[in-house]
Amino acid sequence: MGRTPGSPSRASAEPEVDAAAISQCIRCYKPSMIVFSTRPDHLDSIIECLDQTTPLKGGASLVTVLGMYPPQPEADDDPHWPAEIRRQFRDAQTMLMSNMSPSIIIGVCRTVLDVVMRKLGASEGTLHQRINLLQARAVITTPIADWAHKLRLDGNEAVHEGTGERDNAAEFVEFLRTLMDVTFSLPAKIAKQQGRST
């Protein structure tokens, strides 16, 4: 049903009311509170849907979410990280927060590692060879190379065997965050600071 151009819609003509509902987080399965605004005539249908766990006719367009408590964590994203892997690394973090299969997360982490090694200057050979090459050139330290090899091996197993542990997935996400901060973000920040001081 259309409306005359320039005339107020029913939604804009009626004041909205603020409300709150207790829900369950789809990531951690703990209780969370959603604060939202909606038109008064929508409240009854929203309450009915919450009571019966049935889909809301009209969906998200009927409500404006104002906040969630506790706040939902957001994936880290740094503009200094290589553009080719920023989305994949955000996806890995989101999957970890959503309690998705560790094998999938570890597989994505291995892919991110592969691209990082290429961006650091090792583009030839296997991932094993590229990690060793960067270590030999002192681009990465021995502890970083050891972690990279562990991710490489666990990533292979995750992809081919579908195995993996959540704790390992979380460690690999943190390892990659640290690696990219040290190799991409920190040099860029140092260069920027040096440019200011000259």
pLDDT for 8-48, tens place per residue?
344 445 577 777 777 766 656 677 777 878 777 766 666 66
User: What is the predicted pLDDT for the residue at 25?
Assistant: 64
Angle, in degrees to the nearest 10, between helices 127-136 and 102-119: 50
User: What is the predicted pLDDT for the residue at 35?
Assistant: 80
SS3 content of the chain, % helix, strand, coil (to 5): 60, 10, 30
User: What is the predicted pLDDT for the residue at 155?
Assistant: 95
pLDDT for 129-144, tens place per residue?
999 999 999 999 999 9
Query: What residues in the chain have per-residue pLDDT under 50?
Result: 1-12, 54-56
Element (H, E) at 99: none
User: What is the predicted pLDDT for the residue at 27?
Assistant: 58
107: three-class secondary structure by DSSP: helix
